[in-house]
Amino acid sequence: MNKTVNQKAWFFVLPVLALVAFNAIIPLMTVVNYSLQETFGDNVFFWAGTQWFQDVLGSERFHAALGRQLLFTFTILVIEIPLGVAIALAMPRTGPWVSVCLVMMALPLLIPWNVVGAMWNIFALPDIGLLGHTLNALGWDYNFTRNPGDAWMTVILMDVWHWTSLVVLLAYAGLVSIPDAYYQAAKIDGARPWAIFRYIQLPKMKRVLTIAILLRFMDSFNIYTEPFVLTGGGPGNSTTLLSIDLVKVALGQFDLGPAAAMSLIYFLIILLFSWIFYAVMTRNEEW
């Protein structure tokens, strides 16, 4: 078959290209620019080479923030993925309750992120918050503004509350797309519920779960708004995740060079991890 060649098509792509250049490529290049130079204001720049990158990679503060970030992302993935799958399995596949369940599941996703942070902040306040007050009344000395452990627990709880729904909806979509014949065949083959899950539901959900894991990984690695509103990175630096630290460096200390280097490293880490996840989860599979 002959391909139709029409150079005019490029004109249709131009607006998008201009938009992307304006809001992605130019800012990104500015960041690259900053990461290689030193400035003392007045728009005067000096070449700094890879100095900032070496500084960031060698700094204990960055290592600590990265460690907290990895711990946070790992924890929420370990909780949200199995929990999301379990909830999706428990949801009805037919009948009037389907839409009720779906709407209830979608609700947390519809709330603006800073509102989620504010909600949980109030919810968890040790003296007047429903959660905080209840825990204290039960005899647990709970205070997320003072104890790092409590702060971590609250941040993770908030993320699980906010984002498990996404995993549920994706996993549910995967589940309902399984034709009835598979369940019927499994019944006839005498498969028990575990075998049905292991050999039918899980393999059929694999693709959507890959997407769910990737999305949750990227989003949680980027997370800023909710923990910032809830704990502001405290107490101390205990919940200062990478993005919060980055904002502190860039806007708090106005160290543009190191902040630019840090954000590039940050970006590459996410890219690398996403690629690894994707490669591992889709190996020996024909898409």
Partner 1 sequence: MAKITLEHLRHSYMANPPTEADWALRRLDIVWDDGGAYALLGPSGCGKTTLLNIVSGLLKPTEGRVLFDDRDVTDLPPDQRQIAQVFQFPVIYDTMTVYGNLAFPLRNRNVPEKEVDQRVRQIADMLDLTGRLDSRASGLTADGKQKISLGRGLVRSDVNVIMFDEPLTVIDPHLKWVLRSKLKELHQEVGRTMIYVTHDQTEALTFADQVVVMNLGEVVQVGTPVELFERPEHTFVGHFIGSPGMNVLPCELANGGASIDGHRVAVANASALKQADGALEIGIRPEFVSFADEGLPVNVVKVSDAGRYRIVDTRLGDHSIKLLVSEGETVPSERAYLRFDPERTRVYCDSRVMT
Residue ranges binding partner 1 (CB under 8 A): 179, 181-182, 184-185, 187-192, 195, 199-200, 203-204, 286
Q: Which one, 112 or 190, has the nearer CB to partner 1?
A: 190
Q: What would the two tokens of residue 244 be?
A: 């919060």
Q: Which one, 141 or 189, has the nearer CB to partner 1?
A: 189
- The Cα 176–Cα 216 span in angstroms is 22
- The Cα 242–Cα 255 span in angstroms is 16
Q: Which one, 113 or 183, has the nearer CB to partner 1?
A: 183
Task: Give the helix ranges, DSSP H, for 91-198.
Answer: 97-110, 113-124, 130-137, 148-176, 180-188, 193-196
Shortest CB 197 distance to partner 1, Å: 12
Q: Which one, 127 or 286, has the nearer CB to partner 1?
A: 286
Shortest CB 8 distance to partner 1, Å: 42
Shortest CB 199 distance to partner 1, Å: 5
Q: Which one, 115 or 195, has the nearer CB to partner 1?
A: 195
Shortest CB 198 distance to partner 1, Å: 8
- The Cα 229–Cα 39 span in angstroms is 31
Shortest CB 97 distance to partner 1, Å: 19
Q: What would the two tokens of residue 245 be?
A: 């630290």
Shortest CB 131 distance to partner 1, Å: 42
Residue type, 95: G
Q: Do 252 and 72 meet the contact criterion of CB atoms below 8 Å apart?
A: no
Cβ-count burial 171-191 (b if 16+ within 10 Å, e if not):
bbebbeebeeeeeeebeeeeb
Q: Hey, CA dihedral for 202, 207, 221, 131, is it positive or negative?
A: negative
Shortest CB 195 distance to partner 1, Å: 6
Q: Do 37 and 47 meet the contact criterion of CB atoms below 8 Å apart?
A: yes
Q: Which one, 27 or 193, has the nearer CB to partner 1?
A: 193
- The Cα 207–Cα 256 span in angstroms is 40
Q: Which one, 199 or 273, has the nearer CB to partner 1?
A: 199
